[in-house]
Amino acid sequence: MTKKKFDIIPYRSHLVEKARKLRKNSTPAEKRLWKYLRRKQVHQFDFDRQKPVDRYIIDFYCKELRLAIEIDGKYHNHQYEYDQARQKRLETFGIHFLRFSEKEVLNDIDNVLRVISHWVLKLRD
Domain ranges of the chain: 28-124
Q: Is the separation of the CB atoms in 76 and 40 below 8 Å?
A: no
Rounded average pLDDT over 98-123: 97
Task: Return the closest-CA partner of residue 35 out of 101, 105, 87.
Answer: 105
DSSP class per residue in 33-47: HHHHHSTTTBTTB--
Q: What is the pTM of this model?
A: 0.91
Average pLDDT score over the chain: 93
Residue 92 has pLDDT above 60, yes or no: yes
Q: What angle do CA 27, 23, 88 make, to 5 degrees?
A: 80
Residue 83 has pLDDT above 80, yes or no: yes
**pLDDT tens column, 19-62:** 999 999 999 999 999 999 999 999 999 999 999 999 999 999 99
Burial environment of residue 88 by CB neighbours within 10 A (0 to 12, 13 to 18, 19 or more): exposed
The hierarchical CATH code for the domain 28-124 is 3.40.960.10
